[in-house]
Amino acid sequence: MLERLLIKDNYSVCIRQPHFYQAANASICYNQYQTERSQLVRNIIAIQHLYNYLISTIMAIVKPILRIFDYDKAIEFYVGWLGFQIDWEHRPSGTPAYIQISYRDITLHLSEHHGDGTPGSRVFIDDFENLQDYHKILIDKQYKYNRPGIETPFYDSNALEVTVTDPFCNNLILVERNPAKK
């Protein structure tokens, strides 16, 4: 009984016969396969390192700091309603809170510290995928303090925009470019 081992090395097919053990051909083909596979893995790792390097050196990561006045209201709004998760928080007893929250690739810092931002700030979040679905989720939660609309912004007739205002008058402007019509 022949067991076929398909290995693409120079468009050849290696055939291994386990009962008759023709080690010469099988081991050569297998060694070539392992070598090529190892090289491919090294290339993938090198590409990942290059990507991480480029992202860290060329593109800065922006993390806006939004001023909040009440920890519980901020958690209710950002985590309970918008669906963010708390990445970490610094909240020693008797001191103002400082929190990092995230949703998808959006990261925000929320701070009760005086001077860490101005109430009424606006954060423009571009290329928000599946905005119509996200908008529907928000509306379905029936958050009593905010029912945002979805509209086409004046600056791009092919985009959709949702603006949500937190309890501290900070605005998150979510924009999806060229959304699929639903």
Task: Write down the pLDDT at residue 59.
Answer: 66
- Report the percent of the chain where pLDDT is more than 70: 80
Task: Write down the pLDDT at residue 79.
Answer: 98
pLDDT greater than 80 at residue 64: yes
Task: Write down the pLDDT at residue 100.
Answer: 97
Amino acid at the residue 120: G
Task: Write down the pLDDT at residue 62.
Answer: 86
pTM score over 0.85: no
pLDDT (tens digit per residue) in 79-124: 999 999 999 999 999 899 999 999 999 999 999 998 888 889 999 9
- Average pLDDT of the residues in 67-71: 96
Q: How confident is the model at residue 11 (pLDDT cuts 50, 70, 90)?
A: very low
- Report the percent of the chain where pLDDT is more than 90: 57
- Three-state helix/strand/coil letters over the chain: CCEEEEEEECCEEEEECCCCCCHHHHHHHHHHHHHHHHHHHHHHHHHHHHHHHHHHHHCCCCCCEEECCCHHHHHHHHHHHCCCEEEEEECCCCCCCEEEEEECCEEEEEECCCCCCCCCCEEEECCCCCHHHHHHHHHHCCCCCCCCCCECCCCCCCEEEEEEECCCCCEEEEEEECCCCC
- Average pLDDT of the residues in 17-35: 59
- Average pLDDT of the residues in 1-25: 45
| Mean pLDDT computed over every residue of the chain | 84
pLDDT greater than 60 at residue 74: yes
Domains and CATH numbers, the chain: 3-58 (no CATH), 65-177 (3.10.180.10)
